Structure 1
């Protein structure tokens, strides 16, 4: 519970290398490889580890959504355009499946969607509405530019699956890659 003197994180768009470095610090603390099985189950996790050069590249043409408190990044939502597929070979299976999807009986072409590259909220700010706030800012930013946001979630990352469902994501495809079952989820912005 927040007291009167506590500030709330500010949700904004990443614009500096310091903010991108803040994303990397938060990401490192929440990587699946850094967490026990119990923590993964109860708190969720992120799978991919990025570097500063890749985050800079991903931050164009659409900037990442971040939550900051006292200059510290306490949450982020990474946005990727479909053209990032060539820079991220581990995501190739997801991008191949996205190419087969339709929305209202029309193919989902590259100009109709962005990919949620990863979303993470610092442990102290979970269940505070910050996750939904990151996505609200993302929708505000992207709604004039595309129809939907698509991402994939490891099926056993139940906290993330539930959080995305609450925002409005719907499962549109499932597949298995490297012994992990994945759900491709879609959030329609143009409703």
Structure 2
């Protein structure tokens, strides 16, 4: 069986995204795991995840019926829905970093432990680029500066650093990927 990529279409897939998120949340992983495997910061509710998916579907990697990874799509209209992401949206609006280009924020990416180091991370972004083009010119996200694993992975697949900011005692690195 191989990994397939698509957009999230069912409540069951959204529930699996949330389960994978819980397993990799900053507060739920050891310091050693954070260093070597990375972590996710934001904890979504089912309702918010579903609302986001209805505006711009999330990209998922599946191994059979199992969600093996995800890249969440966060339309700019959701910029005030998650406290920890508000500073990113404020920065993008104020600094005009993308020179009036249309962008989608990748709200979080995660690959299950069983499917890491198999190209799923890259595959998620390739599929996401396909799904969001032609509506968006860039995929943008911010990465906690402590999450060196995630930053290295994003840079390795072609993201560029475009800004830095601090919020709530944390340092963040903003990266972008051209979709076309």
User: TM-score, normalised to structure 2's length?
Assistant: 0.96
Distance 1:89 1:40 in 2: 22
- 1:23-172 equivalences in 2 (<5 Å): 23-99=17-93, 100-103=95-98, 106-108=99-101, 112-172=102-162
Structure 1 residue 144 displacement after superposition: 1.1
1:3 is aligned to none
Distance 1:186 1:47 in 2: 19
Structure 1 residue 12 displacement after superposition: 1.1
Name the Cα RMSD after superposition. Answer: 1.1
Distance 2:74 2:176 in 1: 14
Distance 1:118 1:147 in 2: 18
Structure 1 residue 89 displacement after superposition: 2.4
Q: Which has the larger radius of gyration?
A: 1
Structure 1 residue 70 displacement after superposition: 2.7
Distance 2:92 2:140 in 1: 8
1:17 aligns with 2:11: yes
Structure 1 residue 182 displacement after superposition: 0.2
SS of the equivalent of 1:42 reads helix
User: TM-score, normalised to structure 1's length?
Assistant: 0.90
Contact kept? 2:97, 2:162, Cα under 8 Å = no
SS of the equivalent of 1:24 reads helix
How many residues in Structure 1 have an aligned counterpart in Structure 2? 179
